[in-house]
Amino acid sequence: MKSLITSTYNQLDNWIDKNGPMSYDVSDIKAQAIYIWIINFSQKSKFTKILTAPAILLAENYTNFLRKVFIIKKKIYPQGQAVLARAYLAHYKLSKNKDSLDKALKALDWLKQNPSIGYNKYCWGQPYNWYSRKLIPANIPRATVTSQVANAFLDAYEVIKEEEYLEIAIEACNFFIENLKWQEDEDGFICFSYTSVDNYNIHNASMLAAAVLIRTWFYSKIGKFKEFGIKAMNFTIKHQNEDGSWFYWAPPDKIIGKIDNYHTGFVLESLEVIKKYTVGGFDLDHTINKGLEFYLKNLFVDNSIPKMTNKSIYPIDIQSCAQAIITLGEMKSGNPVLEKIANEIAKWTIENMIDEKGFFYFRIYKNGRIDKTPYIRWSESWMLRALTFLLDKNPDTNENI
């Protein structure tokens, strides 16, 4: 298994080297003006949802054709660069391979040069328009993207102790506190908004920000970072469901809840990171174990195939596969059961979702159709990072694939 993980990492790494950081994206069709209008119109009633269903299905099933119609070009995505940097840094820590460190620093340099404009602090968004109950314009900074970028700089700070990288993470934390929208509930807890222009309450986005705040506090000792991080953590703990799960949306948003695989993984990973960097300052074992039990029992088939939600297996999404390995990788220390499950997920993913060229597919659908499009932001960067959690220390990085 270790040999398979190493060879797969090298194969994917070589593919990324050859093809570069630019790619299409899972959201680029639905970011087109006509599709934003269609999605908005579809949400007006059950009738409009039925009426617009063919156009939505067209976007899902004929994406590459529509990319030609709309003359969509490949782009570099901040989130993709951040997750790649995290993968390369993790690989460098294991292997001391200077090439991995160089690639990480190159990605970090790009991120330094390409933050969201119009803000006096480092923050990052997605380079496309996005409709989620309302239009979120391109490059508006997001909690999810900024947290991954800040984590990449913190990873680099831990490896090479460059103070500038910590300063960038500090700015990102100030962005969370000063530019995202939040308000205290009756218990004094908070939920960070998804972006700087909405009031959405979403557990995974808020928890990703909380974990960055705690990591940055650990090194900077800036008290407000710990204060806000703990308030956000306590909000999500408070709203954990009785069965251990979390809905995607958080109160007071009154939206029918869904429970999906990779967003649950983000919450569990964030809790584990907070536990690590508060060094036993909080007893999170009950919350984490309860969430982990639900996660494994309800969001996987045979502890190897990630389901999309607790109620539906399909589509099987590559980010669910990658995040599952990452989540369990964060938790597996001293737990051979979790390590075995993470390896089983990796084995299934490699056997079913990798192309002979070395990249991973996007999705497998219920009808057997496989969307084989490579996406740096959504697929390849996440799987590269996921595989580092299963590599041996000092892996053979010179194997010729």
Task: State yes or no: pLDDT of 398 exceeds 70.
Answer: no
Task: State yes or no: pLDDT of 104 exceeds 80.
Answer: yes
Beta bridge partners, 360, equal 354
Do 312 and 372 form a contact (C-beta atoms < 8 A)?
no
Share of the chain above pLDDT 70, in %: 98
Least confident of 88-97, 149-158, 251-260: 251-260
Q: In whole angstroms, what is the distance from residue 291 CA to residue 331 CA?
A: 12
Q: Each residue of 164-192: pLDDT tens digit?
A: 999 999 999 999 999 999 999 999 999 99
Beta bridge partners, 301, equal 305
How much is the mean pLDDT over the chain? Answer: 94
Q: Each residue of 302-358: pLDDT tens digit?
A: 999 999 999 999 999 999 999 999 999 999 877 899 999 999 999 999 999 999 999
Q: In whole angstroms, what is the distance from residue 246 CA to residue 26 CA?
A: 25
Q: Which domains does the chain have, with CATH numbers?
A: 2-388 (1.50.10.20)
Q: In whole angstroms, what is the distance from residue 130 CA to residue 138 CA?
A: 7
For position 401, what pLDDT does the model report? 27
Residue 255's pLDDT band, with cuts at 50, 70 and 90, is confident
Q: Each residue of 51-88: pLDDT tens digit?
A: 999 998 998 889 999 999 999 999 999 999 999 999 99
Share of the chain above pLDDT 90, in %: 88
* Stretch 203-212: mean pLDDT: 98
Residue 40's pLDDT band, with cuts at 50, 70 and 90, is confident
Q: Each residue of 261-309: pLDDT tens digit?
A: 999 999 999 999 999 999 877 789 999 999 999 999 999 999 999 999 9
For position 136, what pLDDT does the model report? 92
Residue 396's pLDDT band, with cuts at 50, 70 and 90, is low
Closest CA to 41 of 51, 31, 54: 51
Q: In whole angstroms, what is the distance from residue 349 CA to residue 358 CA?
A: 13
